[in-house]
Every structure is written in C-alpha cells, then in structure tokens.
C-alpha cells in the first residue's frame, strides 16, 4: 500500500511534536513487506512434490491406469524406466503447481510460519535501524519505529543508551497502539499514536536540551 501525502504529513508532524520534549530522534518506517519468502515457497513446493511421490509409491495403480487412459495406450506392464519417468513428471507437476499457487500474495503469506515472519521482520527492522538511526546522533538517542504491513508486525529499536534504560517490555503498549490503528485501517493514526508514546517515554529519560538540534529527518520513510 502507498500512504497519501496527507498521511505522510500527519506522521511527520507527530514526530516533530514528540521531539519537542526530548533529545531522542524518532525515525519512522513503513514497509509493504519485509521479505519475499522465496525460500519458503520453494520449501512448500518441494514438500508438495515429495507428498506426490509418496502417494504414487503407496498407491501406484490409480496413477498408472490414469496415464494409460489419458495417453490412449494399451494397458501394459510398466518398465522401471517408465515408472521413474512418470514419478519425475508427477513430482515436477506438483512442484510447479504449488509454486504457481503461491503467486497469490494472500496464500503465499498465509503459508509462511509465524516464527519465520517474526524473524524476517526483525532482521529487516534491524537493517533499517542500522542504516537510518543507530549511532547517527551525538548522544546515541536514535530510535526506530518499524511497521511491516504484509506480516502485520512492528518493531521498536533504540540506540544503546536508550536500550540501557528502557526495557523491551516497555514498548509493548506502544506496539499495540500502533497495530490497533493498522487493524482499523488507519496506518497513519497508528503510527502517530506510537510516536506520541515513544516521545513521552523518551522525554522521561532523555529530556530536550536547550542546544538540541534535529539530527535525523522527521519524515515518514515508506519502502
């Protein structure tokens, strides 16, 4: 999905407002997805091919009879070469059919196990954090709010000084506020709610100084 210019402005304004009370620098990222999961699609296709081969091995007669009818040939004794050729064809067709089915995005993402989704989202969020926020501020006060739409997951990652005083559990309510807005169909509202909560938490531990300057962009990054 693509957010409108107005939605981008809402998030940008929310970040600017949140940073008025803290030395923290908030970076917001919304990703359509965190991975293509090609390896998972290949694994499911390989499993489909294996199951087809197992079925052929357990109950071969229906397959052999079907091939005879379709090919219009006479019922005959199958040679090992013919049986192995049929098995290879069945496996290839099963593999290809499963890959084609997973072209449908909804099915493709449904078949990805939750732990794999969580791991890939975390890896992508960590990469975005290292590029856009980590060690990018003088006081080590960069923090990233990352939302991955397809996986329905979000992450909050902060520089070492933030992580040392704010536990990961502290962000649970913030993440829930973010995902609640997304579930209601208003991504910008969810992101704004998360930004507001992050700003309030950072203000307690990293209050804004008189000489504070804006070191990281306030704009929402959409990838």
pLDDT at 45: 96
Question: Does one domain contain both 134 and 175?
Answer: yes
Question: Does one domain contain both 9 and 80?
Answer: no
pLDDT at 185: 87
- C-alpha–C-alpha distance, residues 112 and 77, integer Å: 43
Its domain, for residue 90, covers 38-110
State residue 142 phi and psi, 5-degree precision. Answer: -80, 140
**Average pLDDT by consecutive 10-residue portion of the chain (223 residues)?**
87 93 92 94 96 85 67 62 80 94 93 95 94 86 93 92 85 90 90 93 88 85 90
Question: Does one domain contain both 100 and 120?
Answer: no
- C-alpha–C-alpha distance, residues 168 and 163, integer Å: 8
From 89, 110, 131, give the residue that closes a domain.
110
Question: Does one domain contain both 60 and 122?
Answer: no
Query: Does pTM surpass 0.85?
Result: no
pLDDT at 39: 95
């Amino acid at each position: 999905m693509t957010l409108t210019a107005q939605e981008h402005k809402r998030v940008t304004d929310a970040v600017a407002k949140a940073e008025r009370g803290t030395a923290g620098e908030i970076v917001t990222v919304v990703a359509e997805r965190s991975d293509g999961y090609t390896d998972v699609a290949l694994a499911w296709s390989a499993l489909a091919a294996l199951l087809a081969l197992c079925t052929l091995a357990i109950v071969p007669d229906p397959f052999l009879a079907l091939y005879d009818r379709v090919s219009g040939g006479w019922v005959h004794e199958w040679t090992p070469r013919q049986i192995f050729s049929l098995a290879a064809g069945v496996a290839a067709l099963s593999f290809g059919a499963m890959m084609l089915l997973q072209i449908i995005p909804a099915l493709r993402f449904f078949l990805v196990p939750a732990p794999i989704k969580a791991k890939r989202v975390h890896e992508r969020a960590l990469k975005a954090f290292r590029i856009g926020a980590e060690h990018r501020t003088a006081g080590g006060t960069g923090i990233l709010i990352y939302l991955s739409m397809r996986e329905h997951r979000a992450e909050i990652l902060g520089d070492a000084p933030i992580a040392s005083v704010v536990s990961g559990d502290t962000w649970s309510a913030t993440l829930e506020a973010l995902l609640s807005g997304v579930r209601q169909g208003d991504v910008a509202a969810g992101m704004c709610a998360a930004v507001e909560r992050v700003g309030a938490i950072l203000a307690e531990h990293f209050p804004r100084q008189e000489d504070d300057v804006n070191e990281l962009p306030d704009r929402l990054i959409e990838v």
